[in-house]
Amino acid sequence: MKTTKTVLITGSSSGYGLETARHFLAQGWNVIATMRTPRADLFPASSHLRVLALDVTRPDSITRALETAGPIDVLVNNAGLGLFGAFEATPMSTVRDIFETNTFGVMAMCQSVIPQFRERGAGTIVNVTSSATLAPFPLVAAYTASKTAIDGFTASLALELREFDVRVKLVEPGYGPTTNFTANGQQRMQGLIPAAYEPFACRVFAGFTPEKPVTRESDVAEAVLRAASDVSDQLHFPAGADALALA
């Protein structure tokens, strides 16, 4: 008898994470949707859904969420913070905040689920990064650094966990204008475009024209499901028309 698989997704309250959780649910998976402030009203009522509190920057929160979740088959590390601004004007405290969630939070989640996957000899970790790792973009240096670190980390981790039949994948979404990338970081971004950078920043913003290919939430949800179901050694899964073009 085929058993229903269980996926735990971080950062499920909006954007790519929310759509990914809904997509897995629609495909018949057991979904554990995690977010800092749980909101079950974001999803259709389902016996296959659990919404749990999780802050990936807090070890106690990770431990609590994983104990409550029980055994899982797939971990999707989607929680992340956006940051846009001139690096010169970005306080190092802000850089550290970005790394706490985008880099160390992902690593902490991986380290916490690896034992159950290794002991079972099965399981998949999907780390969601960004197309900023595929080609350089201006004014996102700190953000790109936090995501590029996870690209290298994931590639190495995939090799060491292959020994135990545990798969590790990378999903690289493009630019999603309908997500909360800038909204969720507006406070952090105050003053990060100094006067000297304004003309350049205006030219960069002007480049985001409606005609350019972008990434929809559904593109990412589909790529994450593909990665979660993939049994080959494929590591990279670009998501969205712009990310596919870069890849």
- Angle, alpha carbons 239-70-229 (nearest 5°): 30
Rounded to the nearest 10 degrees, what angle do helices 15-26 and 217-229 cross at? Answer: 60
CA distance 68 to 193: 43
143 tagged catalytic: yes
**Catalytic entry in 16, 143, 175, 197:** 143
Which residue has 């304004």 as its token pair?
Answer: 198
Which residue has 């002007």 as its token pair?
Answer: 206
Rounded to the nearest 10 degrees, what angle do helices 59-69 and 106-120 cross at? Answer: 40
134 token code pair? 């595929």
22 token code pair? 């809904």
Residue 14 Cα distances to 42, 78, 115, 235, angstroms: 9, 11, 29, 25
Q: Are 51 and 38 in contact (CB under 8 A)?
A: yes
Q: For residue 174, which phi and psi values (nearest 5 degrees)?
A: -85, -160
CA distance 104 to 56: 8
Q: Residues with catalytic annotation?
A: 143
